[in-house]
Amino acid sequence: MKKLCTYFAVFLCLIFLMVPLQAASAAPTPTPATPAASGAPDADSLNCTSAVLMDASNGKILFSKKPDEQIFPASTTKLMTVLLLLENSALDDEIKCGREVDQFHSSSSLVGLDQNEKVTVKDMVYACLLASGNDAAAAAAVHVAGSESAFVEKMNEKAAALGLENTHFENAHGLQKETHYSTARDMASLARTVIKNETIIQVAGTKEYTMPATNLSGEREFINTNRLIESKTENDEKFLYEYATGLKTGSTPKAGNCLVASAEKDGATLIAAIFNDPTKEGAARWEIAKTLFEYGFSLQDLGIDTGAILSGDPEIYSIIESQPLKVQVKDADADDPHNGMLELEVTLDDAQVSALSAETIAAVKANPNSIELNLSPNEFTAPVAKGQVVGTATYSLDGQELFTGQVSASRSVAATGGVTAGAQASQPGYLVEPEGGGFNILWVVIPAALLLIILLRIMLKRRSVRRRRKRVSRRRTTYYNF
């Protein structure tokens, strides 16, 4: 019996050792994100939802992470507000505040303006950009358009004129609304226009400002919320960046911590747009901005023509986006609202798009319907989690590979019985194993366990018989010795 127990224990140990080996062999190899360019930051390591680095001189994207993913801009919205204010007012014009300044909760970011208070346009710009006053933005909106709703119309008209195709504004200050959204690409493009205004870049680069007394208030002290420009505490000093020139911060619970920043070095001006930094007090956005700026300036130092090399033609992205990629997911739950049909989102490798020759770009534009797509893998099995990286898309034209993209799920798809993606979906880059593939350890474990149970019962039965015989033998011996 002791030998049997020993064999049984050894067998169980072997089984448990085999399980992780089987899991490892069944799990597909992760598909890593391709770096944007040699020496470029690793997009996956940036602690934010989306980010863009733009060359302000030509609008070219030097680096991006999910540049067209919808984000909430929070108070970076005020860049558009201030731009329209300055385009429709003189700096010494006077703004008389109305009821619009009283609509905000006390916990909101406020300058503390009162009804009937009179403030110059210049001071209102400081109140919006440095102090990020929501009341200041509302007062500016009413001053320009007569009402906030009319001003919002102007904001969206301006966005359309600037080509911000994925942006829609609902207010002048950036407080959370589901229909108030943008993208990192659009906000960087807005910033490119904004920094052409000398007043904005001067104000946004100011560390501290004392707003003069008004008819209803004494002086107000503003400290720039951009930690690349000014530190609030000693701990913030590590975020200071000597080449930073401005722009605007933002933060709401749903938007996360946001930053649209500009920097200038040796005549080159760069713009960084960073959205949804989830860290406490938004510490990551400052480091991300510095990393992006240093990368961009390193290209300038190397004499690389960023306009010619490091940015893809926007029309190429539009062509790909105009061709939705949909797949049928196997084993989807019967209650799936789309019957298992899943639209995939493709994040193109910007470096590859940027490296296309002028002739290739022209050929793609001339024959957009001739682009061939190879999806790897070409089968997907539920469950799938929203945002899960599920494969790679390779685009070709006339047999010539153009560029690749990382493919992710646009929504979650539950498996039959309502099973959702759990541990597997929590490992980005792992693909769903195709149906019917590979060896299953249960084919060995279950029969072996049944066999062991049978053997154990037989051995126990034999042991019981031997014990009974011994007891009978002892009774007989005792009787004859009496």
Residues β-bridged to residue 55: 60, 270
Which CA distances in Å does 253 have to 1, 52, 258, 286? 64, 21, 11, 18
Q: CA 482, CA 479: separation in Å to the nearest integer?
A: 5
Catalytic: which of 75, 182, 262, 354?
75
Is residue 365 annotated as part of the catalytic site, yes or no?
no
Instruction: Give which of 25, 37, 44 is closest to 428, Cα–Cα.
Output: 44
Q: Is 289 helix (H, G, I), strand (E, B) or coil?
A: helix
Q: Helix and strand tally (H, E) in the chain?
A: 13, 15
- Give kind and range of the element (H or E) at residue 344: strand 341-348
Catalytic: which of 60, 65, 66, 78?
78
Task: Please check whether residue 159 is in contact with residue 79, taking contact to mean a CB–CB distance below 8 angstroms.
Answer: no
Torsion angles phi and psi, residue 176, rounded to 5: -60, 125
Q: CA geometry: angle at 29 spanning 25 and 35, to 5°?
A: 165
Burial class (CB in 10 A: 0-12, 13-18, 19+), 20: exposed
Name the H helices within 146-244.
148-161, 184-194, 198-204
Gyration radius of the chain over CA positions: 32
Catalytic: which of 50, 109, 132, 251?
132
Q: Residue 352 has which token pair?
A: 């590859």
Is residue 75 annotated as part of the catalytic site, yes or no?
yes
Residues β-bridged to residue 50: 275
Instruction: Give which of 130, 33, 153, 19 is closest to 82, Cα–Cα.
Output: 130
Is residue 132 annotated as part of the catalytic site, yes or no?
yes
Q: CA 398, CA 393: separation in Å to the nearest integer?
A: 16
Expressed in percent and rounded to 5, the helix, strand and coil fractions of the chain are 40, 20, 40
Q: CA 262, CA 289: separation in Å to the nearest integer?
A: 9
Residues β-bridged to residue 330: 381
478 backbone φψ class: left, alpha, beta (φ>0; ψ -120 to 50):
alpha
Question: Which residues are catalytically annotated?
Answer: 75, 78, 132
